[in-house]
Amino acid sequence: MSAAMVALLACLVPVRAGEAPEPDILWSSYARGTAPRRALLEESVRRVGRIRTDAESGAAWQTGEDVRWLLGHRLVAVLVVEQELEKGPSGTYAGALATLALRLGHRRLLQRLPGLLKAARTDADRLQALRVLSDLRTPEAIRALQGYLQAEHAAPVEALICEAARGLGLGRDPAHLPVLEAAGRLVTSPAGRTQLAMARYRCGDPAACAELVAATGDESLDMDLRAAVPGVLAERPSPQVLTDLAAMAVSDRPQIADAAFQALLEALVPSDAQAPASQDPPEPAEAGEDVPGGDGPWHEVTAEEKARIVGELLRGEEELRSRRSREAAEAQEGGVGEAMPR
């Protein structure tokens, strides 16, 4: 078997959680390989080094030639980025490596990302690492987020608690509710409690729904946070949630009403039904196409028209639920004792 094939197989073998990385065979195939392979490794090291310089100086690097080169030489790039992650980087360089790891997408790198949280030296580094793990959502990332929330914190930082909770919430696992409920006791601000309620709601806590509905009317909260609530509610659209969204959509709070109407549409209309059938890019929207019926942007629609449109949406949903219930009951009655068709 050739050295190149041995190296490739070594790279593809998954590394189990908790194991020390074993890049020696693969690394040696470049560091002690032919002159072209050594040159590739050296060039990869140089380009990652330039990205570090740019990241630490605040220069734009995400779309530069160095990134394109690394993505085009993925195998050796994985090696170098993995080595850098093992050093426990911090600051903007840690963020740059996390971005590279996600862009390269190799399992070996994704399994290293929880190490950024352990290596973080400042709260800013920890927040950055938690954001990466929240969006990553791999089993290793979820375990790291859960471990952070369960750890003893002498002086809990609310922003860190909320970010870790956001990541667990995105996992939508009811098993995480006890951890989120305990984390909620470390949060005191209205904004923090709202973010914890979002996480609990995503994991299936029915009590969180009322908290989120109340938060939309809390003027002490940032409007962006309040306007994010309808979209979160729409992720679990029960009949009560649809009623709550409808009430928000006809309220006299423009940003909340706009967000609630959009969330109501997303909850009632499947995403595939909203997508255009053609593969061609959609035509630019004309004025008056933002609302069914061509009545213009939602916040410009009269209160009476809002009530009519929302009422029709809810009635249509109720009729659909009733029809599905009847069809299910009829199918169950008619299917008893019948043989399956061949």
Model confidence over 202-217: pLDDT tens digits? 999 999 999 999 999 9
CA angle, residues 305, 310, 312, in degrees to nearest 5: 95
Residue 290 confidence (pLDDT) above 80: no
- What is the rounded CA–CA span in Å between residue 260 and residue 193? 21
Mean pLDDT of the region 305-325: 82
DSSP summary character for residue 138:
-
Copy the structure tokens of residue 313: 């949406």
> Residue 60: what are its φ and ψ, rounded to 5°?
-70, 135
pLDDT score, position 284: 36
278-289: average pLDDT: 39
The contacts found for 311-318 with CB under 8 angstroms, 24 or more apart, are 311/246, 313/246, 313/264, 313/265, 313/268, 314/242, 314/243, 314/246, 316/268, 317/242, 317/268
Helix residue ranges, H only, 250-302: 254-268, 271-274
- pLDDT band at 270; cut points 50, 70, 90: low
Q: Report whether pLDDT(12) > 60.
A: no
Neighbouring C-beta atoms of residue 126, cutoff 10 Å: 22
Residue 258 to residues 117, 207, 285, 301, Cα–Cα distance (Å)? 37, 25, 17, 11
**Is residue 129 within 8 Å of residue 141, measured between CB atoms?**
no
Helix 254-268, helix 223-233: angle, nearest 10: 20
**H or E segment and range at residue 297:** none
Task: Write the burial class of residue 181 (CB in 10 Å: 0-12 exposed, 13-18 middle, 19+ buried).
Answer: middle
Ramachandran class of 172: left when φ > 0, alpha when ψ lies in -120 to 50, beta otherwise: left
**Which of the residue ranges 84-88, 220-224, 227-231, 291-295 would you say has the lowest mean pLDDT?**
291-295
Mean pLDDT of 216-224: 97
Which pLDDT score is estimated for 41?
Answer: 95
Distance CA 61, CA 57 (A): 10
